[in-house]
């Protein structure tokens, strides 16, 4: 007979993963202890990928209760290190407020670039740990790497020191931050289980909670170029994330924003940096400026500055000064010439009228096929590749006028990019409905 003391041995796992899979498969819920064990056992390799794949599919099909989503998020936070910004000091000696933004990603979404220096120009620290693009949505690090010399990887000491001196840092998240999420996300990516709200919400929020920001503004997108097309589902995701942030002590607000039409006029890497610099210089496309100002206002309100005049900081050069300091601190030359594409192809209007449609997803796919994005995490991107739009929905166009220009280093890529955008735009007559899917900012979610 086995003695009870032996059963309690540290070598014996407290749960059986197959039991947990059965529980989820049959619509039951997991306890805090079960979720904690599952994430720890998966991170250390005790639970095999195929078992976790079955679990994520069960979660995808059956969902999770609120308490399970919270437990999953906190278990992923606990799988790695947690940053702490309490040593950062404001000019008056008080703890410097920290505030961050996360976007669920879209086509032409370069908002982090003008936003981080704009918010930091008000004396608030913006620790922006960002990622690379995969598929049709671009990655902030890929865009910034267009700037000659700019470095995405910083040590923790460099990160803290730049937050102290400049206020804004946009850099790659270290592998020690929520490592369970890194492993789980890679598995979800190849098992058709990415689009489950409990898994997306816990994945995003575990990294943000581990990052240590005191406040967070989420830009949750919906529409053809977004991760979630349906506005109701994107609201559900926003509500889950706001709840997770608030419960973990991070002041969290979400804006629901429309991604049916590309954001701004530039889709790519170097061209998106150029457009961001235009915004920092007080110009730029109206939609990019509107979203930058809205998100900056929310971030500063959470950081204790509800009346900050963010538009003034774009006009008077304060945000631009912080941008230049932020780029230089990471080895970049803010005045360097940006990479140019080797080849360009202009698409012109076949007739005069009103541009009534410009569908985000096909333009994102086309930019990706031109080389601006990557199909596998390890692939390089072409920094000069992408698309410059010359008209937006609602604009009057005349026959022969350039509608958009495709850029690439490899002209063989034009054909598949043109295939992607065929039928993605339309010219109508004055009075025809312009299809944009509604206003840019469609809602706000608070705790
Ligand atoms: N981004 C993340 O970090 N995780 C997800 O699950 C989806 C998008």
CA–centroid distance, residue 87 to ligand 1 (Å): 29
Are 257 and 362 contained in the same domain? no
- Which of 314, 336, 358 corresponds to the end of one domain? 336
Give catalytic status of residue 62 as yes or no: no
Q: Best of 135, 194, 241 to mutate for ligand 1, by most ligand atoms within 8 A of CB?
A: 194
Please report which confidence band the pLDDT of residue 175 belongs to, taking 50, 70 and 90 as the band edges.
confident
pLDDT at 215: 98
- Cα–Cα dist 9/5, whole Å: 7
| Whether residues 107 and 184 fall in one domain | yes
65-89: per-residue pLDDT in tens? 999 999 999 999 999 999 999 989 8
Q: For the segment 295-320, what is each residue's pLDDT rounded down to a tens digit?
A: 999 999 999 999 999 999 999 999 99
Average pLDDT over residues 344-367: 97
How would DSSP label each residue in 10-47?
Answer: TTS-SS-HHHHHHHHHTT----HHHHHHHHHHHHTTSS
Do 319 and 195 lie in one domain? The reply is yes
Structural domain includes residue 199: yes
- In this predicted structure, the answer to whether residue 407 has a pLDDT above a threshold of 80 is yes
Same domain as 194, residue 117: yes
Same domain, 163 and 253: yes
Q: Would 396 be classed as within a structural domain?
A: yes
What residues form DSSP beta bridges with 405? 346, 388
Model confidence pLDDT, tens digit, residues 200-234: 999 999 999 999 999 999 999 999 999 899 999 99
In a domain, 79, yes or no: no
Quote the Cα angle for 365-218-371, to 5°.
20
Using a 6 Å cutoff on CB, does residue 204 contact ligand 1? yes
Residue 267 lies in domain: 99-336
Model pLDDT for residues 373-403, shown as the tens digit of each residue: 887 767 889 999 999 999 999 999 999 999 9
Q: Is residue 68 part of a domain?
A: no
CA 210 to chain CA centroid, Å, is 16
Nearest to 128 by CA among 217, 190, 56: 217
Can you point out the beta strands (E) in 396-439? 396-397, 402-408, 425-428
What does the pLDDT read at residue 9?
Answer: 46
- End-to-end Cα separation, the chain, in angstroms: 54
Please check whether residue 108 is in contact with residue 279, taking contact to mean a CB–CB distance below 8 angstroms: no
* Residue 434 confidence (pLDDT) above 80: yes
The number of folded domains in the chain is: 3
Of 182-196, 368-382, 418-432, which has the strongest mean pLDDT? 418-432
Per-residue model confidence as pLDDT tens digits over 337-346: 999 999 999 9
- Look up the CATH number of the domain holding residue 372: 3.90.1170.30
Q: Is 137 in the pocket of ligand 1 (CB under 6 A)?
A: no
119 and 196 assigned to the same domain: yes
Q: Is 19 a catalytic residue?
A: no
Question: CB-based contacts of 283: which residues, under 8 Å, 6+ apart?
Answer: none
Let me know if residue 436 belongs to a domain: no
Q: Is residue 5 part of a domain?
A: no
- Residues 108-165 have pLDDT tens digits of 999 999 999 999 999 999 999 988 776 677 789 999 999 999 999 999 899 999 999 9
Ligand 1 centroid–CA 12 distance in Å is 33
pLDDT given at position 134? 63
d(CA 345, CA 339): 17
Q: Do both 355 and 291 map to the same domain?
A: no
pTM of the model: 0.94
Residues 119 and 151 in one domain: yes
Q: Is residue 85 part of a domain?
A: no
- Give the Cα separation of 30 and 36 in Å (integer): 10
User: Does 383 fall in a domain?
Assistant: yes
Instruction: Return the pLDDT at 186.
Output: 87
Cα–Cα distance measured from residue 226 to residue 260, given in angstroms and rounded to the nearest whole number:
8
User: Is 185 close to ligand 1, i.e. is its CB under 6 Å away?
Assistant: yes
Is the Cβ atom of 228 under 6 angstroms away from ligand 1? no
How is the beta sheet containing 425-428 ordered, strand by strand? 396-397, 353-358, 425-428
Q: In 10 A of CB 334, how many CB atoms? A: 17
CATH code (residue 27): 1.20.970.10
Decide if 143 is catalytic: no
CATH of the domain at 192: 3.40.1030.10
Mean pLDDT of 334-353: 97
Q: Do 116 and 151 belong together in one domain?
A: yes
Distance CA 447, CA 441 (A): 18
Is the distance from the beta carbon of residue 200 to the nearest atom of ligand 1 less than 6 Å? Answer: yes
In this predicted structure, the answer to whether residue 365 has a pLDDT above a threshold of 60 is yes
Residue 181 annotated in active site: yes
How would you classify the pairing of strands 266-268 and 251-258?
unpaired
pLDDT value at 3 more than 50: no
Residue 10 pLDDT class (50, 70, 90 cuts): low
- Residues 207, 324, 357, 383: which is the catalytic one? 207
Q: How close is the Cα of 53 to the center of ligand 1, in Å?
A: 16
For the chain, give the longest Cα–Cα distance.
89
Nearest residue to 158 (alpha-carbon basis) of 127, 200, 185: 127
The mean of the pLDDT values for the chain is 94
- Same domain flag for 27 and 171: no
Residue 110 bears catalytic tag: no
Residue 363 binned pLDDT confidence (cut-offs 50, 70, 90): very high
Stretch 429-443: mean pLDDT, rounded? 94
Give nearest CA residue, ligand 1 atom 3. 204
* Average pLDDT of the segment spanning 248-268: 97
What average pLDDT score do residues 262-274 get? 98
Instruction: For ligand 1, pick from 133, 180, 200 the residue to mutate: most ligand atoms within 8 Å of CB.
Output: 200
Count of other CB atoms within 10 angstroms of residue 29: 16
Domain match, 290 and 326 both? yes
Residues 372 and 232 in one domain: no
């Amino acid at each position: 007979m086995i003695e009870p003391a032996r059963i309690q041995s540290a070598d014996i796992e407290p749960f059986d993963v197959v039991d947990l899979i059965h529980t989820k498969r049959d619509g039951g819920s997991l306890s805090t202890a079960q979720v904690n064990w599952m994430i720890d056992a998966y991170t250390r390799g005790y639970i095999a990928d195929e078992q976790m794949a079955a679990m994520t599919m069960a979660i995808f099909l059956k969902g999770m209760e609120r308490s399970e989503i919270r437990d999953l998020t906190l278990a992923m936070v606990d799988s790695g290190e947690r940053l702490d910004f309490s040593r950062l000091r404001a000019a008056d000696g008080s703890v410097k407020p920290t505030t961050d933004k996360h976007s669920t990603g879209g086509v032409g979404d370069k908002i982090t670039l003008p936003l981080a220096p704009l918010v930091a120009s008000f004396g608030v620290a913006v620790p922006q740990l960002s990622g690379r693009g995969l598929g049709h949505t671009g990655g902030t690090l890929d865009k910034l790497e267009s700037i000659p010399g700019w470095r995405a990887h910083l040590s923790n000491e460099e990160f803290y020191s730049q937050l102290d001196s400049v206020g804004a840092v946009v850099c790659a998240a270290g592998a020690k931050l929520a490592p369970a999420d890194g492993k789980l996300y890679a598995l979800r990516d190849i098992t058709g289980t990415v689009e489950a709200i409990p898994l997306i919400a816990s994945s995003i929020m575990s990294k943000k909670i581990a990052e240590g920001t005191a406040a967070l503004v989420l830009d949750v997108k919906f529409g053809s170029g977004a991760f979630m097309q349906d506005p109701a589902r994107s609201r559900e995701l926003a509500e889950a994330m706001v709840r997770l942030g608030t419960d973990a002590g991070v002041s969290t607000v979400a804006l629901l924003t429309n991604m049916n039409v590309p954001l701004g006029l530039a889709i790519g890497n170097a061209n998106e940096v150029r457009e961001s610099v235009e915004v920092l210089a007080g110009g730029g496309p109206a939609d990019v400026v509107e979203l930058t100002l809205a998100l900056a206002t929310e971030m500063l309100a959470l950081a204790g500055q509800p009346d900050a005049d963010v538009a003034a900081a774009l006009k008077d050069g304060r945000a631009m000064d912080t941008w230049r300091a932020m780029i230089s601190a990471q080895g970049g030359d803010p005045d360097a010439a940006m990479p140019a594409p080797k080849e360009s192809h202009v698409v012109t209007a076949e007739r005069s009228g009103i541009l009534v449609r410009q569908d985000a997803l096909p333009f994102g796919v086309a930019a990706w096929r031109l080389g601006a994005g990557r199909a596998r995490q390890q692939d390089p991107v072409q920094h000069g590749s992408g698309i410059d739009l010359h008209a937006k929905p609602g604009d009057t166009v005349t026959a022969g006028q350039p509608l958009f220009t495709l850029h690439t280093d490899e002209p063989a890529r034009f054909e598949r990019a043109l295939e992607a955008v065929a039928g993605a735009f339309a010219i109508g007559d004055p009075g025809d409905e312009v299809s944009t899917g509604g206003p840019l900012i469609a809602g706000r979610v608070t705790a």
